Structure formats: C-alpha cells, structure tokens
C-alpha cells in the first residue's frame, strides 16, 4: 500500500517554542501550525510534527537536479559565437539564462539598464521585434512566432506593461512555456522570459496523429483526485472546445506539455478534493502518467459588528459598526448569504467546501427580531485557558467543542469584512493589485471562497479533528478560478496550555493571520509562468512567499496604527493574538542586523536580525516559514529606508518582474530593476547596500532555487574591467578529462545555462567570460556520473581554476540503478531513486514503522539496493542522512548499516554507525571496514530515526521521526 506523503512541507522547527512557531506551509502553500514545549519565547528542545500528509510539487520538465544540470550542460555546450556576442553586449550586469529543456531564454535582462531604448511603438510590437532581431538567442522561426497568442497585457501604476503570450497549436496551449515581457511606459524593454518552444508547429504536427487523448476529461479528473488521496464525487460535465468544466468547479483542459524528451498531449486539471487537497495536475492524455503536480494551498441593513485587528487588541480590538453594503462589498438586495463583490464567506464546519444549510450567515442587520440593527456581538470564553485575558479574548472553549457555534455568525462576518477590506487595500496604489493584475473579484469569476471555522465539526464529538486545528491556508489557482481560504480554530481540544501554546480563538478574528493568507493569493498571481501558473515551488521561492505574506500583513497593521512600530527594533510581531503576545515567528519582522532586543535573539543566542547564511538554521532546519524570516526582515529594511509607499511599489513591481521560481538573489535583482523603472536607478546603491547588509551582496551564491544552504556576501556590485574564469575538469582518480560538465557560478546562473556558465569540451576545458573579479563562494561543477562539486573560487586576471570531481559509481546519471527496496514508494518526488540522484535537495523518504506511516517506537528497518555500473574497489562511501520531503530533522537517519555484494545475492557488512544532528545537511565520508573489493551492489539500511530517546518519545511525542525516516544521498567512490 502506498501512503500519501506530504510533498513535502512537514514541520522542521527543532529550536522554536510553541509561541514562536509559524503558520507552517504544507506542500504548495497550505499553512499548518505546530505545537512545541511550554518554554515560550525561548529555544525549546523538542522537534515537532503535526498536520495532514499531502503530496507535493512535481514537474517532469525538471524532475531532479541531475537531469536539469545534464540538460543545461548540453545547452551551454551548443552556444554559438553569435549568442556569446549577444551576452557580451549586455555588459557585466546583463543576464541571459537558457532553459535546459527548450534551449531558449528563461530570462534575458539587465540590472543596470534596459535592453532597448525608448520607442513609441506598442509594447507587444516592441518585444516581438526584439525577439525577431535576435534569433541567435531566442531561436524562434516565423512559424514559431505565429504560435504566440497574446493572453494578457496590463499596465501597473508605474506605467510598465506586463505582457504574456501563450503558445497555441491547433487550438491547444503549451503548458508553462511561452513568452513574458516587461516594457516601460517609454517603450524600453526591461526583460523577456518564458522559455518559448522552438520548432513547436512541426513537433505538434508530428505528434498529433499519435497524441489523440485516450483518457477522457472525466478520467483525468478522477486520476488527479486519486493521485492526491482524495475520493471522486459525481459531478456533471460541460465541454466547450478543449475544456471541460464540472459542476463542483473542477476543470480539465487539453494542453501540450514539452520536455527535453519531446512534446506530449496532456490534460491540465484543477481539482478540489476536500480540505487542503486543492491541486493542479498535468496528466499524459494517452497513458495517464503524471507530468506535473502543484498543491495550490500556501491561508441599518448591512450593518455588521467587526474588529480591525483582534478581540482585545489595544487598537482595533473592540467591535464597531461597518456597513457591508455601503462599502459595496455586498449587493443592496443581499440577505441570506455573505456572497459579495470579492468574497463569498460561510462556516465550512464539515470541510466539504460547500455552503450547506446551517453554515451560511444571514446578512447582518436583517436577522434580528426587528430585522434591523448591527450584528453580531462577540461572546467571550475567558475561562477556556490561562492565555485568555482582557488583551487576548478567547472566542471558544476547546473543552466544549460545540462552543464554536456561539460565535459562528460573528466569526464568518468578521472574516468577510477583513477579506473584503484587504481586497480593496491591495487594489490601491502603491500595491495596485487590480483585476488586470489578477485580483479576486466576482466580476472576473474568481471571488475568494472563504471557509471560516473550517472543519470545526469534523471530530466525532462535534469539534475539530487533528487536521483542522491551529491552521490556516489559501489555495490559489490561476486567474479566473476562485481561490479557497480556510480559517481554523486554534488550541487543540484536550491539550493543556503547556502542550498547545495558542490562544483558544479563531483565525477569522486575527487580522494578521487572515491578511497573511490572503497575501499568498497576491504572490501566487504575480509570480507566474506565461500561462499564469504560480511558480513558487522551491524552498527559496516558497520562503519568500511566506515572507511576503508576513510583510504585507504587518505593513497594513502598522500603517493603520494597529501595530506599534517606533524606531526601536523588535516591536512588530506576526500572530500576536493567537500567540497571546509571545513570539509567533522566531523574531520580530523589524529586527535589524545587530539589533538589541528580546525579540531579536537568534536561536543560538546571538543578537540581531538574520542574514542570508542563517537561512537553514533559523528554525533549526530549512523550512519556508522560518527561512523566510530573513527575506521579511530585509523587506522591512527597505520600508524603513524608503518609507512604505516607495518600498511597497518596488517590492510589488519586482514580483511582476520576477523570473519563474526565483531565488532570493533573483528577487533582489528584480527590486533593483523596479527602481530602474521608477527612478532611472537613482536608488540602486541604497538597495544594494540594504541587501549586502543582509548577506545578499554581489558575490552571494546559491546552487539553484532548491539550495537551502546559501553562501552570503556583503559586497555591492564591483566596477571596472571583467576577466574570465577558466580551467579544466578531470577525474580525480584517473586524471582523465571530463567532457560535458557544467561549470557555473551559483547566484549568477541559477542552475541553468546562462551568464557565468560554460560546458567543458572533449579535453575537459571550460572558459566563462565576462566575470567580475572577486571571490565567489559557490562555483558549481556538475557532470553525469560524478559528485557535484560546490566550492569557493577567487577570480582574478589570468587565474585558472581546475576541478577534480570523483566518480560517483552510485549516481543514476552514471549508470547506477535501484534494484530493490522495502517500505512504501513515495515516487515521483520522494522515492528511492532520489537516494542516488546526486542532489542534496531531494532524497529518499520512507516510514519508520509500517507502510501506512503509523507512528511507532519500533523501527522496521528500511533498505535500498543499488547496482553499480561496474565492479568497484570502494575507497569511501559518502552519506547525507538528512531529513527530506518536508519532514522535520528528527526524521533524519540515525543508526545505519551499509552492506555490499558482488552478485546481489550474498551480502556482507561494509560499514555501520550512527549519525546525529551534527551530520545533517552535509555529506559524511564513511570508510569501509571490510568487504569493499569487487563490489557491484550496495545496500543502505536506515535502522533508526534521529528521535532522541526513541523508545520514550515515540509514538506519542511531537517528533516527525516517529512516523518517517529519511536520507538524502548515498555516494560510492573507488576505482573500477
């Protein structure tokens, strides 16, 4: 039996207390909080694990790092002299990154200027003329250009055109590929992106005869729901052209899907399978194979009684009257349902995502005995917890699960008010999140479906079950389809205050929680591919998604005087209400570097806000909410430097300028570009100073968006002449040249063939031209069948840097194969094959006990068997035992054993030992103690998780290792 794994966003916060935890992201954006020990505001020792298991992101175009790097190396190796000349023409701060599948640009831009001069032509014409003029880079023929269909062209409040083209053949769109461009009001091209498919028409014609769908739209919908562990409910279908819409809102549409292996016909589906199981899939239309999966979850008549912050807050904590009709949030004749111009709200207490009888709220001012008067007054439950006070009013009693019914009308109404109000706020300058930009509006067919008190009656006793507590989420599909926001109750029934450190309240009564969730919709609609699909999938991008949500929510509260912010650091706290005044994140958002404040103390006890190198350690292990704090604090620095108006303009416009699945360094670049548009680059030096101060300077490095261990740097861009980085790549054991290796400077080429990247020739030589002198901490060498090398390199005139990677005989890219394993198969994203994909960003996840992931204190040992491509005398094993797939640190492998075999039948122990927390996040060299000659098979055993005192703390402790045990990578070195 295959168990549905969370994909893979489970909690990993080993050093954060209950009062310092995050709204924690499940796969793709759903938020689920965790519970830790009672030591609130200090470093707790327990790791935590709660929430639903959900499958996560998968993309067959970039299935894993080794495949992506190998494809990128081929693209880099095919670069022509003309395209290299084009790169050089852009200067030191020019960027040209090529997609590893299409070989066309994922991004062409400059940080210190525009691609073109001023022009009076239409913006879309300017872009297409530029693309036509540079076939050496864009590689699009006249036939390819005819496949481009203008999908969207909107103008932001700086006058910049944001233009999107889909590629269409025979009425069917290509999923994810196309063209995006940004053009100033003066006709200057800022950037062109999208990785359009060259040769599309001929490929589609060749493919069409064999690509007629064998799976129906209904079959694709059912397959998608089954893939995420949901159950298909009957729904009528209506088909128009290539799209089928089901009566429950699910959809299925035919698309083309392009990978480096060819073009396929697929079904693009949107399904809501209940709870946070809201997904987009692309399924092969002939075989049903999974091509793409994304979890979309990341949280008088009309007079209503509402509060602007939370019940009990010093400001905005007292109910006041707000007319929902006067503000045009409800139509004049509204009476029986809070179904408005941008929000439809109800109490989805059974979590079926439908407004059933007893779950809807009558429009306030119409439901009283006289049919008039402001409603609904909040009832307090001040004996529900020691956390309840006049400053933090409790709105239900977890010991009496049905008590949530008392405030149901107030809860739904307040949620409707907050979401409607925030919609209007985001629409105003300087944010300008308008219908053209993708806002949520009934007129556009996509109002927010706000499920207040979500799952409040899902337990047998009428209260919330474990999947509907201490939680909030926002699921955001592309423009035109309604997002779903789910607000949960807080404080687990039956838990003491020491066990669950949250105020017994509802997320619908905490403006910071609701605004945080709503902002996920903003980032999901602005950071997209050419078709409007959100691209916040990697840990770097996901961390920024959480940070943006915190930043915009707290900016609203501060700007309205609801949250205090003076010149002193450590005042602005996300989640103040549900955390009853204690830290909800690990630090306040306004903690400057070196700031001295009780709310600006790092987990290791040092003082001051975070810098880029803190990314993996903020919460004890890389995790989007904790890791995102460095980005949120950096944005607050910009707010303090420029004032909120200009800072909000830069930050929002940068999201619109962003490449797909950006790193924090990509977004730094986009903010620099936003200032270039707004002021001609007047503030570039200040912006670079802010980012350099946070460790995101010019030489900062990341391998790619999945790099959870970035290298920081504190320099602004260098000036002066450039030089080259050159040398050779040779096998460390044999001295033979390694051809086709990709060499790139992390942070300047994010794993793609582009600037600061080159491929080795047959003699193992490489040359990267136009490199600014200095020390780059992450220069990456990736070659099929070899270990991935990431090292610091000092670049100076005439200097050469050689690399000598070791042959990794276990690597799948070099011929290693998985021949056997036990336990469940969590493919495609966490299966055993990821133990040998040469990438630490992915790994093999399995269960601790049975295949169902039942929590236990008895390990059922799990093994994976690897066949090497030849018999090898092994010199060393290299193991990263880290947690993966979103599981917390305690899921890392503890006790292990490695066995070897010459024939795959007779096995003998070659090494054994125990890893601990100090071994996580890195390779650990393990020398064989015997049985290391003539080896063709290697078996790695996970014998225990890293749960402290496993027998005592499991199965009922708050440790993810009680359910899952993981490892990231196994490498095998030696000679043939």
Give the model confidence (pLDDT) of 216-261 as tens digits: 999 999 999 988 878 888 889 999 989 999 988 889 999 999 987 7
Which of 543, 552, 522, 546 is closest to 534 using CA atoms?
A: 522
DSSP symbols for 916-969: -GGGTTS-EEE--SS--SSEEEEEEEE--B--TTHHHHTTTSS-GGGTEEEE-E
Provide the pLDDT for residue 72.
77
Q: What is the mean pLDDT of residues 685-691?
A: 98
pLDDT for residue 36 is more than 60: no
* Helix 408-427 vs helix 511-526: crossing angle, to nearest 10: 40
Provide the pLDDT for residue 54.
58
Q: What is the mean pLDDT of residues 630-650?
A: 98
Strands (E), 136-234: 148-155, 161-169, 172-183, 189-193
Provide the pLDDT for residue 274.
74
pLDDT for residue 4 is more than 90: no
User: Three-state SS for 968?
Assistant: coil
pLDDT for residue 943 is more than 60: yes
Could you report the per-residue pLDDT of 787-819, keeping only the tens digit for each?
Answer: 989 999 999 998 899 999 999 999 998 999 999
Could you report the per-residue pLDDT of 464-480, keeping only the tens digit for each?
Answer: 998 899 989 999 999 99
* C-alpha to C-alpha distance for 133 and 316, rounded to whole angstroms: 57
In the structure, what pLDDT confidence band is assigned to residue 828 with cuts at 50, 70 and 90? confident
Q: What is the mean pLDDT of residues 82-100?
A: 89
pLDDT for residue 861 is more than 90: yes
In the structure, what pLDDT confidence band is assigned to residue 753 with cuts at 50, 70 and 90? low
Residue pair 12/835 in contact (Cβ under 8 Å)? The answer is: no
Top mean pLDDT of 203-217, 329-343, 435-449 is at 435-449
Provide the pLDDT for residue 579.
94
- pTM for the full predicted model: 0.87
Average pLDDT, the chain: 88
Structure tokens at 496: 């003491």
pLDDT for residue 276 is more than 80: no
Provide the pLDDT for residue 123.
97
- List helix spans (H) across 575-679: 624-627, 629-642, 644-657, 664-679
* C-alpha to C-alpha distance for 414 and 416, rounded to whole angstroms: 5
In the structure, what pLDDT confidence band is assigned to residue 278 with cuts at 50, 70 and 90? confident
Q: Longest Cα pair distance anywhere in the chain, in angstroms?
A: 91
* C-alpha to C-alpha distance for 910 and 924, rounded to whole angstroms: 15
Which of 10, 30, 42, 45 is closest to 949 using CA atoms?
A: 45
Cβ partners under 8 Å of residue 686, min gap 6: 641, 642
Strands (E), 35-93: 58-59
Q: Which range is least confidently modeled, 54-68, 80-94, 959-973?
A: 54-68
3-state helix, strand, coil in the chain (%, to 5): 25, 25, 50
Residue pair 225/272 in contact (Cβ under 8 Å)? The answer is: no
Dihedral over Cα of 445, 448, 452, 458: its sign: positive
What are the C-alpha distances in Å from 76 to residues 157, 169, 482, 501, 784? 38, 28, 41, 53, 15
Place of tokens 């080429």: 749
Q: What percent of the chain has pLDDT over 70?
A: 91
Q: What is the mean pLDDT of residues 885-898?
A: 90
* C-alpha to C-alpha distance for 830 and 852, rounded to whole angstroms: 15
Top mean pLDDT of 56-60, 367-371, 447-451 is at 447-451
Structure tokens at 23: 């709204």
Count, in order, helices (H) and strands (E) of the chain: 16, 39
Provide the pLDDT for residue 170.
87
Could you report the per-residue pLDDT of 379-432, keeping only the tens digit for each?
Answer: 999 999 999 999 999 999 999 989 999 999 999 999 999 999 999 999 999 999
* C-alpha to C-alpha distance for 204 and 177, rounded to whole angstroms: 14
Provide the pLDDT for residue 466.
84
Q: What is the mean pLDDT of residues 347-362?
A: 92
Provide the pLDDT for residue 427.
97
* C-alpha to C-alpha distance for 893 and 886, rounded to whole angstroms: 14
In the structure, what pLDDT confidence band is assigned to residue 871 with cuts at 50, 70 and 90? very high
Cβ partners under 8 Å of residue 825, min gap 6: 2, 831, 832
- List helix spans (H) across 396-471: 408-427
Provide the pLDDT for residue 146.
94
Q: What is the mean pLDDT of residues 718-722?
A: 90
Residue pair 103/89 in contact (Cβ under 8 Å)? The answer is: no
What are the C-alpha distances in Å from 729 to residues 85, 782, 880? 25, 10, 24
Which of 510, 476, 500 is closest to 50 using CA atoms?
A: 500
Could you report the per-residue pLDDT of 408-421, keeping only the tens digit for each?
Answer: 999 999 999 999 99
Which of 76, 265, 95, 58 is closest to 170 using CA atoms?
A: 265
In the structure, what pLDDT confidence band is assigned to residue 960 with cuts at 50, 70 and 90? confident
Provide the pLDDT for residue 337.
84
pLDDT for residue 139 is more than 90: yes
* Helix 539-559 vs helix 408-427: crossing angle, to nearest 10: 100
Residue pair 256/265 in contact (Cβ under 8 Å)? The answer is: yes
Q: What is the mean pLDDT of residues 339-357?
A: 94
* C-alpha to C-alpha distance for 49 and 659, rounded to whole angstroms: 33
Which of 147, 20, 505, 93 is closest to 307 using CA atoms?
A: 505
Provide the pLDDT for residue 366.
64
In the structure, what pLDDT confidence band is assigned to residue 744 with cuts at 50, 70 and 90? very high
Residue pair 660/193 in contact (Cβ under 8 Å)? The answer is: yes
Cβ partners under 8 Å of residue 206, min gap 6: none
* C-alpha to C-alpha distance for 329 and 338, rounded to whole angstroms: 9
DSSP symbols for 715-777: -PPP-S--EEEEEEBB-TTT--B-TT-EEEETTTS-SSEETTEEE--TTSEEEEEEEPSEEEE
Provide the pLDDT for residue 750.
58
């Amino acid at each position: 039996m295959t168990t549905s794994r969370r994909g893979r966003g489970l909690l990993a916060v080993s050093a954060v207390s209950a009062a310092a935890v995050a709204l924690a992201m499940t796969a793709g954006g759903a938020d689920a909080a965790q519970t830790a020990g009672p030591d609130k505001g200090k470093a707790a020792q327990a790791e935590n694990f709660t929430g639903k298991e959900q499958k996560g992101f998968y993309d067959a175009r970039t299935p894993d790092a080794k495949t992506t790097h190998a494809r990128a190396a081929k693209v880099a190796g095919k670069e022509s002299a003309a395209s290299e000349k084009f790169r050089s023409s852009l200067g030191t701060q020019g960027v040209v990154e090529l997609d590893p599948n299409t070989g066309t640009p994922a991004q062409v831009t400059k940080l210190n200027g525009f691609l073109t001069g001023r022009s009076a032509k239409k913006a879309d014409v300017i872009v297409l003329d530029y693309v036509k003029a540079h076939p050496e880079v864009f590689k699009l023929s006249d036939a390819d250009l005819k496949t481009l269909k203008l999908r969207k062209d909107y103008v932001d409040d700086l006058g910049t055109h944001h233009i999107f083209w889909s590629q269409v053949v025979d009425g069917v769109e290509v999923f994810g590929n196309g063209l995006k461009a940004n053009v100033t009001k003066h006709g200057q091209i800022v950037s062109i992106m999208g990785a359009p498919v060259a040769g599309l028409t001929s490929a589609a014609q060749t493919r069409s005869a064999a690509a007629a769908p064998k799976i129906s739209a209904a079959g694709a919908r059912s397959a998608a729901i089954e893939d995420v562990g949901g159950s298909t409910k009957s729904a009528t279908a209506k088909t128009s052209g290539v799209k089928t819409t089901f009566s429950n809102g699910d959809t299925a549409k035919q698309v083309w899907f392009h990978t480096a292996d060819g073009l396929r016909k697929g079904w693009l589906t949107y399904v809501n399978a209940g709870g946070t199981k809201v997904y987009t899939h692309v399924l092969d239309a002939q075989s049903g194979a999974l091509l793409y999966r994304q979890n979309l979850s990341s949280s008088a008549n009309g007079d209503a009684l509402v509060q602007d912050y939370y019940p009990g807050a010093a400001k905005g904590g007292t109910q006041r009257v707000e007319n929902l009709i006067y503000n045009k949030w409800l139509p004049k004749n509204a009476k029986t349902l809070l179904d408005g111009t941008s929000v439809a709200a109800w109490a989805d207490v059974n979590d079926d995502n439908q407004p059933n009888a007893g779950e809807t709220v009558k429009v306030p001012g119409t439901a009283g005995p006289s049919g008039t008067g402001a409603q609904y007054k909040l009832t307090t439950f001040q004996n529900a917890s020691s956390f309840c006070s006049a400053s933090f009013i409790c709105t239900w009693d977890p010991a009496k699960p049905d008590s949530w019914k008392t405030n149901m009308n107030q809860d739904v109404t307040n949620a409707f008010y907050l979401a409607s109000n925030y919609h209007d706020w985001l629409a105003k300058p300087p944010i300008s999140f308008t219908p053209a930009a993708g806002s949520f509006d009934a007129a556009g067919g996509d109002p927010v479906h706000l499920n207040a008190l979500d799952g409040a009656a899902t337990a047998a006793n009428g209260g919330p079950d474990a999947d509907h507590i201490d939680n909030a989420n926002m699921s955001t599909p592309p423009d035109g389809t309604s997002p779903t926001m789910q607000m949960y109750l807080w404080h687990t029934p039956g838990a003491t205050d020491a066990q669950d450190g949250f105020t017994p309240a509802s997320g619908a009564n905490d403006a910071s929680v609701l605004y945080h969730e709503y902002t996920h919709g903003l980032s999901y609609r602005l950071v997209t591919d050419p078709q409007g699909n959100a691209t916040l999938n990697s840990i770097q991008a996901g961390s920024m998604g959480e940070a943006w949500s915190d930043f915009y929510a707290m900016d609203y509260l501060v700007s309205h005087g609801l949250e205090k912010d003076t010149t002193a650091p450590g005042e602005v706290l996300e989640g103040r209400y549900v955390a009853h005044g204690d830290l909800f994140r690990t630090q306040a958002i306004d903690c400057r570097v070196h700031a001295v404040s009780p709310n600006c103390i790092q987990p290791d006890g040092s003082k001051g806000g975070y810098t880029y190198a803190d990314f993996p350690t903020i919460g004890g292990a890389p995790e989007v909410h904790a890791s995102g704090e460095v980005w949120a604090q950096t944005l607050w620095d910009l707010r303090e430097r420029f004032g909120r108006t200009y800072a909000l303009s830069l930050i929002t416009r940068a999201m619109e300028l962003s490449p797909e699945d950006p790193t924090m360094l990509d977004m730094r670049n986009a903010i620099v570009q936003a200032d270039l548009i707004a002021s001609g680059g007047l503030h570039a030096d200040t912006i670079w100073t802010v980012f350099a101060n946070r460790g995101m300077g010019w030489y900062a490095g990341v391998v790619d968006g999945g790099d959870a261990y970035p290298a920081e740097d504190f320099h602004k861009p260098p000036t002066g002449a450039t030089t080259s980085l050159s040398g050779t790549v040779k096998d460390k054991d044999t001295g033979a040249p390694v051809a086709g290796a990709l060499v790139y400077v992390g942070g300047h080429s994010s794993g793609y063939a582009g600037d600061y990247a080159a491929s080795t020739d047959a003699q193992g030589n490489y040359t990267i031209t136009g490199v600014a002198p200095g020390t780059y901490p992450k220069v990456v060498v990736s070659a099929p069948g070899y270990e991935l090398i990431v090292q610091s390199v000092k670049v100076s005139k005439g200097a050469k840097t050689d690399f000598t990677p070791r042959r990794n005989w276990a690597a799948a890219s070099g011929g290693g194969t998985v021949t056997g394993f036990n336990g469940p198969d969590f493919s495609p994203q966490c299966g055993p094959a990821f133990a040998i994909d040469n990438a630490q960003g992915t790994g093999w996840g399995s269960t601790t006990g049975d295949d169902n992931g039942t929590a236990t204190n008895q390990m059922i040992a799990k093994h994976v068997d690897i066949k090497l491509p030849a018999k090898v005398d092994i010199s060393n094993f290299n193991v990263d035992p880290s947690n993966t797939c979103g599981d917390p640190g305690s899921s890392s492998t503890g006790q292990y054993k490695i066995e070897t075999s010459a024939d795959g039948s007779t096995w003998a122990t070659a090494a054994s030992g125990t890893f601990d927390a100090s071994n996580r996040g890195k390779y650990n060299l393990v020398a064989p103690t015997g049985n290391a000659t003539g080896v063709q098979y290697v078996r790695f055993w996970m014998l225990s998780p890293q749960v402290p005192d496993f027998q005592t703390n499991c199965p009922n402790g708050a440790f993810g290792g009680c359910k899952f045990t993981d490892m990231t990578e196994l490498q095998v070195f030696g000679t043939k």
